[in-house]
Amino acid sequence: MEVTLTLILICCLAFFIAGCIDSIAGGGGLITTPTLLMLGVPAHFCLGSTKLASMCGSSVALFTFWQNKQIIEKVALIGAISSFVGGVLGSWVALSIDNQKMTLIMVGLIPVGLAISLLGGVFKIDKEVEEVEGWRWKAIL
């Protein structure tokens, strides 16, 4: 695959838009993944690139919230550990699938991810509001 200036500019624009969307509502990978696949980037490189960008954004957000004391440490620790384990297992599974099949899987899952992102709030069932370390949270099933 030849890397051209046009390809770099398209990626920069797509990743900029994805970063803006990710910082507001999440789901930036729904922009970067199809962009990279359409540009001919192999599926595993696409996954690695989008996950690296996502990890960087999430790390900056975590650090910023931590500085402003907007983090419940126990929840953040559980989230970090489960995210790490899920990432390792997901990477292992993804690397065991060949590029053609992985591309088809990713293309098939993009509309599913989009639907979940757009309709995610529709299926929430609210329970009573609970207090956790001074914070009020709505418990969601």
Kindly write down the DSSP assignment for every residue of 20-88, as one continuous string.
Answer: HHHHHTS-THHHHHHHHHHTT--HHHHHHHHHHHHHHHHHHHHHHHHHTT---HHHHHHHHHHHHHHHH
pLDDT of res. 86: 93
pLDDT of res. 118: 77
pLDDT of res. 72: 87
Q: Which residues of the chain have pLDDT under 50?
A: 139-141
pLDDT of res. 141: 40
* Residue-range definition of the domain harbouring residue 56: 5-140
Location of structure tokens 């696409």: 46
pLDDT of res. 42: 92
Rounded to the nearest 10 degrees, how much is the dihedral formed by the CA atoms of 34, 32, 11, 19?
160
How many folded domains does the chain comprise? 1
pLDDT of res. 122: 60
Query: How far is Cα 50 from Cα 33, in angstroms, rounded to an integer?
Result: 7
